[in-house]
Chain A
Amino acid sequence: MRKILVIGGACQGKTKWVQDNFKEYRQVSFSEVLRENLQGKVLSAIYLDSFHSTTREWIKAGEDHKKNLEYLRKNLSWVIVANEIGNGVVPMDPFERKWREETGRMLCELAKDADEVYRIFCGIPLQLKGENKV
């Protein structure tokens, strides 16, 4: 069981690629993960999609996103999927800027933990980290 980060632009087939290749991972929401973690369980084989939407909710709600990320990272094995959102013109709106910047930094942290990192482009994976070719 491995830790896998999958990133890419919007609508590049990330979800489909993950669902085709990581069937043994169970799709969860972050609130489920947090609930079980807070009960003392450490999870394995979980699959969290649209991580960038989750980070947006965290930042919007003023939650301690660093703490949330710590919970997520500590689980044994995961697939986390996120859109790359930092590759556009820097927005005027401070919240939008913060979301992009903080999400990028969180993805850097997850990439450090991950055994494999993939960037999906037109449905095709480019492996950025790890040896285990899917």
Chain B
Amino acid sequence: MFYLISGGSGSGKSEYAETIAVRLAQEEKREKVYIATMMAFDEEAEKKIARHRCMRKKKQFKTVECFMKSSKLILPNNTIVLLDCLSNLLANEMYAENGAKEEAVQEILNGMENIKEQCVHFVLVTNEIYGDGCIYEQQTQQYVKNLGTLNQMLAKIADVVVEVVCGIPICYKGKELIK
């Protein structure tokens, strides 16, 4: 199954996604793999990474780093995969030196297909960034558009689509598949 989990800043989406991955792994007695996407480029990012690491520590995830080129990623077979989050991956592909740049959306779509094919269940965390009504300069506007495009295309192939609000899941697709 493919789970797409979205939410705004501080919505509790990562914690919710981890809970789903842990439950699936327990039920099916499988290993859990966490795909980390954030580059530690400053102190704030380091703190954030440390916070997420701490959350995952008890939950026994194997961590794989993937900042870019997810279409080439090779994973252990038959696991439950959690990727957090798509918005980092997109920023890396669009702005990092070796990123896919204009091909970012296609590269990531290929990447998500690649991951989906290698695992049993795929839990993907994305981000809600459409609620401030601001118009940004062209580069940011393109980013917003790309993430929106990805969210829509991935929601189409996802079995479950959930928005997390104040830690509470609102299910838009596949209600019968989550308890």
Contacts and interface: CB of A to CB of B under 8 A. Distances in A.
Chain B associates with chain A: yes
Interface of A: 5, 7, 9, 84-90, 94, 97, 100-105, 107-108, 110-112, 117, 119, 126, 128-129
Given A111-B168, A128-B166, A88 B10 contact: no
Contacts of A117: 166, 168
Interface string B135-160: 01000100110000000000000000
Contacts of A90: 9, 129
A9 B10 contact: no
A87 B131 contact: yes
Given A108-B167, A129-B168, A102 B131 contact: no
For chain B, give the interface size range: 20 to 34
Contacts of B131: 9, 84, 87-88
B44 interface: yes
B129 A104 contact: no
A126 B163 CA distance: 14
B11 interface: yes
A73 to B, nearest CB: 14
Interface in B88-146: 128-134, 136, 140, 143-144
Nearest to A103: B10
What 4 A-B pairs have minimum CB-CB distances, sorted nearest first? A104-B10, A88-B132, A87-B131, A86-B8
A107 B129 contact: no
A101 B167 contact: no
Nearest to B132: A88
22 contacts: A7-B165, A84-B8, A84-B165, A86-B8, A86-B128, A87-B9, A87-B129, A88-B8, A89-B132, A89-B134, A89-B136, A90-B129, A100-B8, A104-B166, A107-B166, A108-B11, A108-B166, A111-B168, A126-B170, A128-B168, A128-B170, A129-B168
A117 B167 CA distance: 11
Contacts of A104: 8-12, 166
A36 to B, nearest CB: 26
Nearest to A105: B10
A7 B8 CA distance: 13
A104 B130 CA distance: 16
A119 B133 CA distance: 19
A87 B168 contact: no
Nearest to A109: B167
Nearest to B163: A87
A107 to B, nearest CB: 5
B109 to A, nearest CB: 22
Contact of A111 (B133, B134, B167, B170): B167
B132 to A, nearest CB: 3
Contacts of A102: 10
A107 B10 contact: yes
